[in-house]
Structure 1
Amino acid sequence: METIQITSKSPQSDHPKVVVIGKFDGLHLGHQHLLETAKSLVTDEELAVYGFSDHPKWVLQEDEQYKTSLTSYEDLKRLLTDFGVDRYFHVQFNKEYAKTSPRDFVNEHLRPLSITHLVVGEGFRFGKGRGSDADGLKELCEEVGIAVTIVPHTKNHGEKISSTSIRTLVREGKMEAVQSMLGRPFEITGKVVKGEQLGRELGYPTLNLGQIEEYVEVKPAVYLGTVKLYPEAPDYYYTLISAGYRPAVNGDSYKVEAYIMDFSGDLYDQQVSVKFLRHLRDETDFQGLDALVEQMEQDEAYAREILGLA
């Protein structure tokens, strides 16, 4: 997949395209339905995504809830590639871009891309002050010969699937519900960095994930998950994931650590991906390290029972 950075107006592109527009945070089942719809319209055209870098509520209102994402930029590129997208237009959404009128959006940002067909969700809004909607987009695009398909909301148990609702569930630690909307487990990719190595002293060596600031913070708790080691080789292990502030050891910052079951080895500076499968228990302030170790032993025994590894 080719990635093209757009910082102002779109570049001229001659190859015909079927394009999907959106933020695509999480690439959840609703996004996937948009992409499937677009893919069904492709004959000789490229399948492309026109995606925004940041959420408007963060850029325009500085709402902290929208500062972080369900997927990092690198995650999203990998997921779109796996989906068969040929070209990704990564649009730098900023306050200047937000001033674009609906008509200028179509004429200056979409028309140069040689779009034959555009696919958007029914809740799509665009233009200065979110001044137009999907029907308005369809009318403006018809003037310049671009067909538009408006796709109804994808629902889960009667509720619209949205990145906002999934972010809320991540913050609440409800990983099974998150998976039902993403179509896969919630995943964080980071670089293994050196920690305080207390886990090693306690008999539970953990890897500490660094460079994860892009992601929504998971609820402080212990989770059952899997970890993928070494990007070039598909090595997966079950893991116990601790997310939070580590009150039992007087922690003062948010961290994500993973104890990999039945594995030993040096992973420092490796890129690893941790998937959250299930919430096991909330973060607790234990009275002493002995109580902490006892609980970790119980956590591992419970995880092994769930996995049939006991």
Structure 2
Amino acid sequence: MRIHHDWTGLPADARGASVAMGNFDGVHLGHRSVIDTARAACDAPLGIITFEPHPREFFAGDADARPFRLMNAESRANRLARLGVDHLYELPFNAVMAGFGPADFVREVLVAGLGVRHVTVGADFCFGRKRSGNAATLIQLGEAAGFGVTIAPLIGDGRVEYSSTAIREALAEGRTRDAERMLGHWHRIDGAVLHGDKRGRDLGYPTANMAVDGLHLPALGIYAVLVDVLTGPERGSYKGVASLGVRPMFDGKRPNLEVHIFDFAGDLYDQHLSVALVEYLRPEAKFDSLQALIEQMDRDSAMARDILAAR
């Protein structure tokens, strides 16, 4: 998959795609419907148009510091690559983009910049300055500009509509399997392994530490996890147990993800991981002693091994 960070100056072989357009936070089953519809719309490379930062982040600025994203840009790109996307147009959402009216956006970005063959969006899609354009607007403008438009219906399971909001709620309550049902995949946290204080190694549980800045936090606590090492000599898939939280035993304040990979002895510093939260085991807690913590970690690991062995 090729990633493009602007809509201008693209080579000829990066233009003319059949694109799905939206924010695709989580790349859930509703998004998959839009993407699959774009794939089938015409004989052209499959493209995704999305925005970075998320428009909600751009407009909120510092007024609302509560993280809401299910995925950072790296995680979203990794998931889209797994779906066979040819081109990811990760367009900068800045004052210029925010100032485009619907007709400006179609003329400057979709036609002059990307030369799209076809555009697919969800039924609730809005675009342009102050969200003044919708799916019907796009159909009208696309017809005048010479490209086709398909509106993919919203989908759900009869009880709940698949949405990023519903997935956030499930994760916040530790309902990883409900989130997986709506996502169509395990919720993952992707990123680089950071240098930490190495306390886990001293406890007999070396961990790979990852930042979760800017992300909506699932329930804090201990998880059974599947780990994909995406870079470096240890590249591959593993099983493990992870702590998502502030490390109350050590008076931590900033949440992070600490991943212990079972039966692993390699060096992962600065490598990139994709960590799937499979099962929520328990909330994080502060123990009376380090020995009590280690004994609980032993129980957590045994439970995680049993859960993952049954998959």
Q: Spell out, residue by residue over 1:42-92, the C-alpha distance to the aligned partner (whole angstroms, 9 max, x if none).
A: 22x222222111222221123334x56323323333333332222222211
Give the 3-state SS of the residue equivalent to 1:159 in structure 2: coil
CA distance in 2: counterparts of 1:200 and 1:150, whole angstroms: 52
Match status 1:205 vs 2:167: no
Match status 1:258 vs 2:259: yes
CA distance in 2: counterparts of 1:11 and 1:144, whole angstroms: 19
- 2:4 corresponds in structure 1 to 4
- 1:64 corresponds in structure 2 to 65
**Alpha carbons 2:224, 2:307 under 8 Å: kept:** no
For 1:77, give the aligned amino acid: A
Distance 1:10 1:158, change over 3 A: farther
Distance 1:266 1:117, change over 3 A: closer
TM-score of the superposition, structure 1-length normalised? 0.88
Give the 3-state SS of the residue equivalent to 1:76 in structure 2: helix
Q: Spell out, residue by residue over 1:5-51, the C-alpha distance to the aligned partner (whole angstroms, 9 max, x if none).
A: 227x68695853312111122221111111111111222x2222221
Match status 1:270 vs 2:271: yes
Give the 3-state SS of the residue equivalent to 2:193 in structure 1: strand
Gap regions ≥5 residues in structure 1:
none
**Alpha carbons 1:60, 1:95 under 8 Å: kept:** no
Number of residue pairs matched by the alignment? 305
Match status 1:297 vs 2:301: no
- 1:245 corresponds in structure 2 to 246
For 1:127, give the aligned amino acid: G
- 2:173 corresponds in structure 1 to 172
Gap regions ≥5 residues in structure 2:
none
Distance 1:52 1:295, change over 3 A: same
Moved more, 133-142 or 78-87: 78-87
Distance 1:252 1:36, change over 3 A: same
CA distance in 2: counterparts of 1:307 and 1:86, whole angstroms: 33
TM-score of the superposition, structure 2-length normalised? 0.88
**Alpha carbons 2:223, 2:282 under 8 Å: kept:** yes
CA distance in 1: counterparts of 2:202 and 2:10, whole angstroms: 56
Q: Spell out, residue by residue over 1:258-277, the C-alpha distance to the aligned partner (whole angstroms, 9 max, x if none).
A: 12222233333332222110
Instruction: Report the CA distance between 1:308 and its aligned residue.
Output: 4.4
Instruction: Report the CA distance between 1:133 and its aligned residue.
Output: 1.1
- 1:115 corresponds in structure 2 to 116
CA distance in 2: counterparts of 1:149 and 1:294, whole angstroms: 56
Moved more, 11-20 or 274-283: 11-20
Map 1:1-310; keep pairs closer than 5 Å: 1-6=1-6, 15-43=15-43, 45-62=44-61, 63-65=64-66, 67=67, 69-112=69-112, 113-210=114-211, 212-229=212-229, 231=231, 235-308=236-309
**Alpha carbons 2:75, 2:191 under 8 Å: kept:** no
Instruction: Report the CA distance between 1:157 and its aligned residue.
Output: 4.5
